[in-house]
């Protein structure tokens, strides 16, 4: 997750990285270990297929969903905790594979929320998020979870090599500023639902408590 800044921030949040582009611009962002890997783990370990997992992502939120820290291979942004591992909380005898998977998908959104919160310290006027990559292609319904969790519209972009396109746009601003750039049509926009906001506030409060105990407290 990253944002282009047309200024150099006075302070770089500790959970993020910052790449200087030129004298006036920089790219500020954070990187997550376990997004595509976490989805693959759900498919392999819980024996779910992609269609079922997308249906799970599209389902209404449930208070019975476990809380999950999705750190299967450690955490990069925001805590840089290489020894962190996944945590499932509030699992009972009635918790099934679908609930475990839903908890993991919400936990991934929680990791993005931690990056987003630090980004907002330097970029306060971000009004939308453009999402691309393998997981968004395979599980488009997960983008509604992300939009609800972040409280920001998420635009689904299906072009390949979106990072390469971003690099090209940055170079064109300097090399050919008068050239009009193409704007690919998005596949859809996932707008935060008012009815889900209270639920995800509670989910994130639990995420932060688990993070404090399992990562910061270790």
**What is the token pair recorded at 31?**
């990187």
Mean pLDDT of 65-83: 97
pLDDT at 6 over 90: no
Beta bridge partners of 19: 27
pLDDT at 8 over 90: no
pLDDT at 161: 78
pLDDT-based confidence at residue 38 (cuts at 50, 70, 90) = very high
- Going by C-alpha positions, the residue among 213, 31, 210, 189 that lies closest to residue 106 is 210
Q: Contact 5/126 with Cβ under 8 angstroms?
A: no
Tens of pLDDT along 133-182? Answer: 899 999 999 999 999 999 999 999 988 777 788 788 888 887 888 888 87
Instruction: State the residue for tokens 């980004």.
Output: 119
Cα separation, 27 vs 4, in Å, equals: 5
Cα separation, 49 vs 107, in Å, equals: 19
Tens of pLDDT along 90-111? Answer: 999 999 999 999 999 999 999 9
Cα separation, 116 vs 16, in Å, equals: 10
Angle between helices 197-211 and 97-119 (to 10 degrees): 80
Mean pLDDT of 62-73: 97
pLDDT at 149: 98
- The distance of Cα 181 from the centroid of its chain, to the nearest Å, equals 27
Tens of pLDDT along 196-214? Answer: 999 999 999 999 999 999 9
pLDDT-based confidence at residue 184 (cuts at 50, 70, 90) = confident
pLDDT at 217 over 80: no
Q: In the chain, pLDDT over 90 holds for what percent of residues?
A: 72
pLDDT-based confidence at residue 32 (cuts at 50, 70, 90) = very high
Instruction: State the residue for tokens 């996944």.
Output: 86
- The distance of Cα 76 from the centroid of its chain, to the nearest Å, equals 13
Cα separation, 215 vs 218, in Å, equals: 5
Mean pLDDT of 66-85: 96
Tens of pLDDT along 126-135? Answer: 878 999 989 9
**What is the token pair recorded at 132?**
């691309």
Size of the chain in residues:
218
pLDDT at 210: 97
Cα separation, 23 vs 200, in Å, equals: 39
Cα separation, 28 vs 5, in Å, equals: 7
78: preceding bond cis by omega (within 30 degrees):
yes
pLDDT at 146: 98
- Enter the pTM of the model: 0.93
């Amino acid at each position: 997750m990253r944002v282009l800044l047309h200024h150099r921030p006075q302070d770089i949040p500790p959970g993020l990285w910052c790449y200087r582009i030129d004298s006036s611009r920089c790219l500020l962002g954070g990187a997550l270990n376990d997004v595509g890997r976490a989805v693959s783990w759900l498919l392999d370990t819980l024996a779910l297929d992609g269609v079922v997992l997308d249906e799970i992502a599209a389902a209404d939120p449930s208070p019975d969903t476990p809380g999950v820290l999705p750190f299967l291979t450690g955490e990069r942004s925001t805590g840089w905790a290489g020894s962190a591992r996944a945590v499932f909380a509030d699992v009972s005898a009635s918790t099934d594979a679908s609930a475990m998977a839903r908890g993991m998908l919400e936990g991934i959104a929680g990791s993005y929320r931690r990056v987003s919160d630090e980004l907002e310290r330097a970029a306060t006027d971000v009004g939308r998020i453009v999402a691309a990559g393998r997981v968004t292609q395979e599980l488009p319904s997960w983008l509604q979870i992300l939009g609800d969790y972040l409280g920001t519209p998420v635009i689904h972009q299906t072009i390949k090599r979106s990072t390469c396109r971003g690099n090209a746009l940055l170079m064109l601003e300097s090399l050919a500023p008068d050239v009009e750039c193409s704007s690919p049509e998005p596949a859809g926009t996932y707008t935060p639902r008012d009815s889900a906001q209270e639920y995800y506030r509670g989910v994130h409060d639990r995420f932060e408590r688990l993070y404090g105990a399992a990562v910061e407290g270790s």
